[in-house]
């Protein structure tokens, strides 16, 4: 097959998948998400700060220098850290989805046309999914001592959506009052 045909076809398929996923989310999105300041505080990116340190090599180096440390112990330690990191990734994904669901509710319930918000929403979903894939690949390679994991972009994307949603919180609360 011709690469000039495959690339656009793959891009179209990816866009259809994203669109179907967004459509499914919109259909199943609950109307009364708890979009309050307390809920927004729970969605803080600070919750994921431990991820920044969880896979640093300094801890492994410290463990290697300890008397009685074996290569098997270091491997187990690395594996445990990877499991914990994957748990954080799951929670980050859930929180991102919740923030996006809340933004979807804002868009649907807005008395104004929010094409700007829809465009930013779609870009954010795609960027987050792409970054999540990159981080998962990095984690796979990290487990085999072949790469480092950088989650700064992923957490930043989550924080951007959260901040965008937070900008709408007063308007939403005023509408509920």
Q: Any idea where the domains of the chain sit in the sequence?
A: 31-176
- Separation CA 117–CA 87 (nearest Å): 30
The mean pLDDT value for 30-36 works out to 52
Give me the percent of the chain exceeding a pLDDT of 90: 35
- pTM for the whole thing? 0.72
> Tens digit of pLDDT for each residue in 104-150?
887 777 787 777 777 888 889 999 999 999 999 999 999 998 999 99
Joined together, the tokens standing for residue 131 give: 């970054």
pLDDT score of 88: 94
List phi, psi (to 5°) of 146: -110, -10
Joined together, the tokens standing for residue 102 give: 């809340």
In contact, 127 and 166? CB cutoff 8 Å: no
- Separation CA 138–CA 149 (nearest Å): 5
Joined together, the tokens standing for residue 51 give: 């991820």
In contact, 25 and 103? CB cutoff 8 Å: no
pLDDT at 68 over 80: yes
Give me the percent of the chain exceeding a pLDDT of 70: 76
Give 177's pLDDT tier (boundaries 50, 70, 90): very low
pLDDT score of 132: 95
Q: How far is CA 122 from the centre of its chain?
A: 14
Average pLDDT, the chain: 80
pLDDT score of 22: 56
State whether residue 96 is helix, strand or coil. helix
Tokens 């894939």 correspond to 133
pLDDT score of 164: 81
Count CA atoms closer than 13 A to 62's CA, side-chain side.
6
Higher-pLDDT residue of 112 and 95 is 95
């Amino acid at each position: 097959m011709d690469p000039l045909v495959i690339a656009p076809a793959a891009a179209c398929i990816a866009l259809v998948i994203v669109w179907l996923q967004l459509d499914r989310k919109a259909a199943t999105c609950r109307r009364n998400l708890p979009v309050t300041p307390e809920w927004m505080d729970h969605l803080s990116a600070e919750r994921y700060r431990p991820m920044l340190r969880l896979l640093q090599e300094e801890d492994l180096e410290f463990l290697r220098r300890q008397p009685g440390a074996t290569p098997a112990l270091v491997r187990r330690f690395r594996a445990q850290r990877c499991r914990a990191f994957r748990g954080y990734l799951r929670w980050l994904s859930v929180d991102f989805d919740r923030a996006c669901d809340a933004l979807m509710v804002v868009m649907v319930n807005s008395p104004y046309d929010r094409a700007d918000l829809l465009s930013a929403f779609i870009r954010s979903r795609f960027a987050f999914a792409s970054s999540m894939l990159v981080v998962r690949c990095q984690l796979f390679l990290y487990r085999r001592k072949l790469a480092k994991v950088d989650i700064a972009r992923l957490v930043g994307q989550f924080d951007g959506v959260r901040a965008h949603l937070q900008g709408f919180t007063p308007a939403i609360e005023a509408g509920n009052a």
